[in-house]
């Protein structure tokens, strides 16, 4: 059974971005490219990204096949060199 996870991703550098694409240009795809973890439909990962009201981060909603895939994805994040803070909602 597919599950949905929501994450708030905030830049640690204090920068403000015009839109989600500008945030991704600096901080990467924010999980939206992670087809080995995120559920695929027509070979595309299922997820959305929206800039937050302050412009300093995004909210990412990702769909996974199951909890094991979601847990594996979260475990793969490189937190040691992170330029963002990721918070599960």
Q: For 27-45, write each residue's pLDDT tens digit.
A: 988 988 888 899 999 988 8
Rounded to whole angstroms, the Cα distance separating 83 from 88 reads 17
How many domains does the chain divide into?
1
Judged on CB neighbours under 10 Å (0-12, 13-18, 19+), 81 is exposed
Q: How far is CA 24 from CA 31, 53, 64, in A?
A: 10, 16, 21
pLDDT tier at 52, thresholds 50, 70, 90:
very high
Rg (CA), the chain: 13
CATH number of domain containing 28: 3.30.70
The rounded mean pLDDT for the chain is 90
Q: How far is CA 39 from CA 17, 30, 76, 82, in A?
A: 28, 15, 16, 24
Residue 87's pLDDT is: 86
Residue 81 has pLDDT above 70, yes or no: no
Task: Domain of residue 79: give its range.
Answer: 3-88
Per-residue pLDDT of 55-72, as tens digits, reads 999 999 999 999 999 999
């Amino acid at each position: 059974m597919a599950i949905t996870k929501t994450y708030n991703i905030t830049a640690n550098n204090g920068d403000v971005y015009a839109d989600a694409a500008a945030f991704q240009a600096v901080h990467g795809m924010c999980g939206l490219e992670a087809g080995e973890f995120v559920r695929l439909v027509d070979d595309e990962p299922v997820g959305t990204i929206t800039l937050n009201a302050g412009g300093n981060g995004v909210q990412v909603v990702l769909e996974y096949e199951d909890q094991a895939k979601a847990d594996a994805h979260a475990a793969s994040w490189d937190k040691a060199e992170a330029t963002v803070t990721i918070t599960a909602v």
